[in-house]
Amino acid sequence: MTQIYNDLPSPNHNEPPNLRGDILDEIADHLACAMDRERDSGRDDQTARWAVLDKFGNPAEIIRKLWFEAMKERIMRAHSLLLLNLLAVLPLTASTWYLTIAYLHLFNPFDHTMFLSGSGFWIISWPMALATLALWINLIFHAREFLRWNNSKRQLLELTSHESE
């Protein structure tokens, strides 16, 4: 079971801490009950073991499927947050650049009298620039999450395809 546990993708901070242990405990319990039933039917340990694995299937593949099913909602949430961040950051970035370029074309940025005279640009542009920066940082964080989940999904698919060969 330790080898199967190590075949799972590396733990993620979004993963519940007891998920892997719960899955392994559940599979071990099912295997133990099936083994007891086979022994009760009069089979020796080796024959009972092969009969259990034949009926049960590949425990490693089942564990990976259970892990993926348990994490699917979190993975989809990470994908959705990345898309929402992308949809928010692109227009905000474009509007911030547009306002900056418009201001630079209309006014001399080194003329401090425009700043002191109450030009509305500075009141609008700095909060927009800070919001844009915050959204880009958030987008980078969610992109890292997205890549981490895709890497986990790829690892699971590779392990499953190697076992089926």
Segment 91-101, tens digit of pLDDT: 888 877 777 77
What is the pTM for the complete model shown?
Answer: 0.60
Per-residue 3-state assignment (H helix, E strand, C coil) for the chain: CHHHHHHCCCCCCCCCCCHHHHHHHHHHHHHHHHHHHHHHCCCCHHHHHHHHHHHHCCHHHHHHHHHHHHHHHHHHHHHHHHHHHHHHHHHHHHHHHHHHHHHHHHCCCCCHHHHHCCCHHHHHHHHHHHHHHHHHHHHHHHHHHHHHHHHHHHHHHHHHHHHHC
Segment 27-61, tens digit of pLDDT: 889 989 999 998 998 888 888 888 888 888 888 88
Residue extents of the structural domains in the chain: 2-164
